[in-house]
Amino acid sequence: MNHYELIVIGGGPAGLAAALAAYEQGLRKILIVERDKELGGILNQCIHNGFGLHHFKEELTGPEYAGRFVEMLKDTNVEVALDTMVLEITREREVHAVSVAKGYQVLKGDSVILAMGCRERTRGAIAIPGDRPAGVFTAGTAQRYLNMEGYMVGRRIVILGSGDIGLIMARRMTLEGAKVLACVEVMPYSGGLNRNIVQCLQDYDIPLYLSHTITDIRGKGRVEGVTVSQVDARRNPIPGTEMHFDCDTVLLSVGLIPENELTRQAEITMDPRTNGAVVYENMETALPGVFACGNVVHVHDLVDFVTAESMRAGRAAAAYVQKGEADDAGLITLKNGDGVTYTVPQRIRPGNVENAEVFFRVNRVCGASEIRVMSGDTQIAKFKRAHLAPGEMERIMLPKKLLEKAGSELTVGIVEL
Amino acid sequence: MKELICIVCPKGCHLKVDEANDYAVTGNGCPRGAAYGKAELTNPTRVLTSTVKIDGAHHRRCPVKTDRAVAKGKLFELMDLLDGVQLTAPVKVGQIIIENAAGTGANIVCCKNLDAVK
Ligand SMILES: Cc1cc2nc3c(=O)[nH]c(=O)nc-3n(C[C@H](O)[C@H](O)[C@H](O)COP(=O)(O)OP(=O)(O)OC[C@H]3O[C@@H](n4cnc5c(N)ncnc54)[C@H](O)[C@@H]3O)c2cc1C
Ligand code: SF4
């Protein structure tokens, strides 16, 4: 059986950063398994710029950002198995993989990092009524067709959902000569970054309809038009508000789901709020020696944070191989309080960190606010923010001193001032 | 008076820019917003990213960008220019594909290493 100190599943930015960090800590038998024909993950199709402002202090395109890590990998002896799909991981950290070149293989890892990323929600996952004609794509699929394979998916486009991928595609399709008629968002606010609303919609006079949704898709064979209606506070369509658009294509940008089939099969504890594994401060899952990072844990909007989190996972995997299991004395469980939808990590072992970095998302748009960290009824930390929004992941640092004072449970909540 | 949303930081201040009064900005939470508001109305610029055809690589398209921000009004002219470009692998990140594209002063550069494949 092929044996490695670390097997990384997925060669996107998460897997690349994790492998590099583990190498820097001294591991010398590392394998990255990637099902695609190249490394880089979803970044290969994200040709727009805006990546790397935090990590490299410059604005790169997705392929450039991924390229930097691929170059760094060339100076190491990290092995890469491309065109190889992982089918199963066991609780003994055996990785079952299949490829045309090598057939069915069982690989054994002293440690394993899950970095499988996420996939897009499809029409089925959100149930839009109407016909089932051709011409309905997820925005990410259209992005891959256009940016990598060179196919235009349509000429007259309506976009459902105002997530970043949809916004980016609105601009991209417009520049390529398509007419984007509308971007339709069911929530009263956009899920995308402000910068994308301005530079992808407003720059090209594409209307954004908030609190609206597609209530019908028509067409024989190919999409011919859609009906868009306003929705009430409970997201039910309001009769009489219908608008009709003649379009040949609908792009769905309605969210991402972490790709965790392998994680579930291995019966690793999941968090229903993130749809990812429950992780400790060092990105270890509930199965010792198995770590997870990037979009497979929770959906990120900035790849820079994916890189930071994944380096932490890589270092932790190295420590596990070199020093064994972490000490879980004084374990703290993190809970989401008012206005917070989840936290990552969900568990902190104070003995195992200097500062615990905690990511979370809020459930509403807020002006000046305070993030409050409570241990029972006692507030142990607060952080001021001028602005909070669901589309932007928040990050706080909890120092060790504070964690040592905390009880077995901490709650992170927000209060608008 | 023109209303804009500042995109320099995530706060997203709602700016009011007074064209009649030397583009004086109000509503900005910090000085960077004032600079952004004025530039957006006097000379808005953007980095353009797109793809061009490539032969002999794994993919049929090669990602490219302008190496600096160009006047917003030039974007569609640059897109037309890119339509006629045909590369052959191999290409390297940073390689200049068109110098001083459409007189903007910006070069079109390659964003990805693409090796030649048989
Ligand atoms: C369509 C789409 C567009 C996006 N656009 C943007 C954007 O414009 N800007 C932005 O900041 N963020 C964007 N994101 C978010 C972006 O995905 C993250 O910032 C970052 O790429 C996540 O890195 P990752 O390594 O966790 O995941 P990914 O980049 O998705 O990488 C996961 C890798 O794992 C591989 N893999 C999965 N399962 C297996 C398996 N069983 N065996 C072998 N390999 C496997 C996949 O092939 C993939 O290469 C986008 C996400 C999606 C899905
Ligand atoms: S004006 Fe300043 S604080 Fe307000 S969004 Fe712009 S950069 Fe941020």
Do A10 and A64 reside in the same domain of the chain? yes
Residue A139 has pLDDT above 80, yes or no: yes
How many Å apart are CA A328 and CA A43, to the nearest integer? 36
Residue A129 has pLDDT above 90, yes or no: no
Do A289 and A404 reside in the same domain of the chain? no
Residue A125 has pLDDT above 60, yes or no: no
Q: How confident is the model at residue B118 (pLDDT cuts 50, 70, 90)?
A: confident
Helix/strand/coil (H/E/C) assignment for every residue in A373-397: EEECCEEEEEEEECCECCCCCEEEE
Domain that holds residue A244: 122-254
Q: What is the pLDDT of residue A72?
A: 97
Strands B61-66 and B108-110, by their bridges, are: antiparallel
**Per mean pLDDT, which range of A44-58, A302-316, B65-79 is the poorest?**
A44-58
User: Order of strands across the sheet with B49-55?
Assistant: B86-88, B49-55, B61-66, B108-110, B96-98
Asked if the Cβ–Cβ distance from A194 to B5 is below 8 Å, we say yes
CATH number of the domain to which A96 belongs: 3.50.50.60
DSSP A269-285: -EETTTTEE--BTTSB-
How many Å apart are CA A362 and CA A339, to the nearest integer? 5
How many Å apart are CA B66 and CA B89, to the nearest integer? 20
pLDDT tens digits, one per residue of A194-251: 889 999 999 999 999 999 999 999 999 999 999 999 999 999 999 999 999 999 999 9
Domain end marker among A325, A352, A385? A325
Do A55 and A23 reside in the same domain of the chain? yes
Domain end marker among A212, A238, A254? A254
Do A10 and A78 reside in the same domain of the chain? yes
Q: Is any Cβ of chain A less than 8 angstroms from the Cβ of B95? A: no
pLDDT tens digits, one per residue of A254-297: 888 899 999 999 999 999 999 999 999 999 999 999 999 999 99
Which atom number of ligand 2 is nearest to the Cα of residue B12? 5
Interface test with B, best of A43, A49, A145, A385 (most B CBs within 10 A): A49
Give percent above pLDDT 90 in chain A. Answer: 82
Query: Domains of chain B (ranges plus CATH)?
Result: 2-42 (no CATH), 49-110 (3.10.530.10)
Mean pLDDT across A358-387:
92
Query: Considering the entire predicted model, what is its pTM?
Result: 0.92
* Nearest of B112, B108, B82 to residue B97 by alpha carbon: B108
Do A9 and A44 reside in the same domain of the chain? yes
**Contacts of range B15-22, beta carbons closer than 8 Å, 24 or more positions apart:** B17/B41
Q: What is the pLDDT of residue A389?
A: 87
How many Å apart are CA B65 and CA A48, to the nearest integer? 8
H or E element in which residue A368 lies: none
Interface test with A, best of B49, B74, B78 (most A CBs within 10 A): B49
User: By CA distance, what is B115's nearest residue in A?
Assistant: A38
Q: What is the pLDDT of residue B105?
A: 95
How many beta-carbon contacts under 8 Å exist across A and B? Answer: 71
Mean pLDDT across A337-361:
94
**φ, ψ at B14 (rounded to 5°):** -85, 110
Mean pLDDT across A301-329:
94
Q: Whose CA is nearest to atom 1 of ligand 2?
A: B33
Q: How confident is the model at residue A117 (pLDDT cuts 50, 70, 90)?
A: very high
Do A15 and A99 reside in the same domain of the chain? yes
Quote the ipTM score. Answer: 0.90
Distance from CA of A263 to the nearest CA of B (A): 31
pLDDT tens digits, one per residue of A30-45: 999 999 999 999 999 9
Q: How confident is the model at residue A1 (pLDDT cuts 50, 70, 90)?
A: low
Do A156 and A166 reside in the same domain of the chain? yes
Q: Is any Cβ of chain A less than 8 angstroms from the Cβ of B76? A: yes
How many Å apart are CA A335 and CA A347, to the nearest integer? 9
Q: What is the pLDDT of residue A150?
A: 92
pLDDT tens digits, one per residue of B36-95: 999 999 999 999 999 999 999 988 999 999 999 999 999 999 999 999 999 999 999 999
Q: Is A90 exposed, middle or buried (0-12, 13-18, 19+ CB in 10 A)?
A: middle
Q: What is the pLDDT of residue A123?
A: 66
Q: What is the mean pLDDT of chain A?
A: 94
Q: What are the CA-CA distances from residue B93 to residues A82, B48, B59 (Å)? A: 22, 16, 15
- The rounded Å distance from CA A406 to ligand 1 centre is 35
The residue with tokens 């402002």 is A53
Do A131 and A198 reside in the same domain of the chain? yes
H or E element in which residue A355 lies: strand A355-362
CATH number of the domain to which A392 belongs: 2.60.40
Give percent above pLDDT 70 in chain A. Answer: 99
With b for 16 or more beta-carbon neighbours within 10 A and e for fewer, the A234-255 pattern comes to: eeebeeeeeeebebbbbbbbbe
Do A336 and A401 reside in the same domain of the chain? yes
CB A117 within 8 A of CB A99: no
pLDDT tens digits, one per residue of A63-82: 999 999 999 999 999 999 99
Mean pLDDT across A397-410:
90
Asked if the Cβ–Cβ distance from B61 to A67 is below 8 Å, we say no
H or E element in which residue A414 lies: strand A409-416
Do A231 and A304 reside in the same domain of the chain? no
- The rounded Å distance from CA A87 to ligand 1 centre is 18
Do A102 and A183 reside in the same domain of the chain? no
Domain end marker among A200, A233, A254? A254
Q: How many domains does chain A have?
A: 3
Q: What is the pLDDT of residue A386?
A: 85
CB A372 within 8 A of CB A415: yes
Ligand 1 lining (C-beta closer than 6 Å): A 9-15, 33-36, 41-43, 46, 85-86, 115-118, 120, 140, 143, 164-165, 168, 256, 259, 262, 294-296, 300-303, 306
How many Å apart are CA B9 and CA A28, to the nearest integer? 41
Do A43 and A139 reside in the same domain of the chain? no
Strands A212-218 and A84-89, by their bridges, are: unpaired
Q: Is any Cβ of chain A less than 8 angstroms from the Cβ of B14? A: no
Q: A388 - beta bridge partners?
A: A366
